[in-house]
Structure 1
Amino acid sequence: MNSSQKWLIAAVLVLIVINIALMVVVWRGHSRMAVSPPIHDQMRRPEITGRSLIRDLAMDREQRDQFRSIFEAHRRTMDSLSMQMRQVKHDINQSIVLGDTTDLATRNSELFAIQQEIELETQQLTKRLAEIATPDQREKFLKSMQGALIRNRPGRMGRQGQ
């Protein structure tokens, strides 16, 4: 056997080992995906959800209908504000990359205005929900909100970095 044949055999063996190693890596990743829950299930969502609020406050039918109407209007407004925020953040990144400081200042002002609108919309939702609740339900609602705020404190991350 000459040296070129030895090199060819060695190269083939190396390629076979690499191929097997890659197959093992892919297979392990595939099997982990089958066992792991979907990403949206892994995310912690401590905020108060509509269903849990209806259940926890024991709302009657009229309150549930009002709640759903209020919440749907809120969701449409928040979706619109979220799209605006995404666009402004994209524009901010573009201004940063292009070095346009004048546009960056303008875009940051737009971003802060949208963030303020989001906060005010959330406060209005809370106000409208409190208006349809009985005094007992308002007390339960306040406790639920405090619990969500405690679990969602800024700066506190879980072990997964979420």
Structure 2
Amino acid sequence: MQAARKLAPTQKPETPKFSLRTPYMKQGRITQLVAETDKMWIHTKINYEGGENEIHCHLDEDHSFIVLEGQMSVFDENGNEIKVEKHQGVMIPKGAYYRYLNTGSENLVVIRVGAGIKGKAQGGTEMRVRPDGKPLIASSEENKTVPPIEDTRYFADSAG
């Protein structure tokens, strides 16, 4: 996958092909960037059974999760639940608090599409924040991160 780059005024953008091939997990979760431009980015995310994260919002992007395998529940800051099954998705606007949980008995495989102004600071504020306004680091224990252990199998293995 090639990252987007600034184009000279006379250059035309390229249309790259990308693959969703991502390792299944035996423990933890993986987030893998598969394509991006300066205003949009696509990740595959795989969570092992029971995988989850902590309540937070993003101040710099709208994003969505689309379930390819498994099922998930998405909760708002009041505990309201949205159940998302295979081939369904959920849209999370900038500033909306949420957390998610893999509620299936296997790996949860989702596509995460984000859109906004990548890397543009919002008044110097951390982009992922908890309800108390403090930053939440994606790979922290506080965000329920456990050491990832990859399986030998891959989602979309034939995609190369």
TM-score range, shorter chain: under 0.3
Q: Is the strand fraction higher in 1 or 2? A: 2
Larger helix share, 1 or 2: 1
- Largest Rg, 1 or 2: 1
**TM, length-normalised to structure 1:** 0.21
Give TM-score scaled by structure 2 length.
0.21
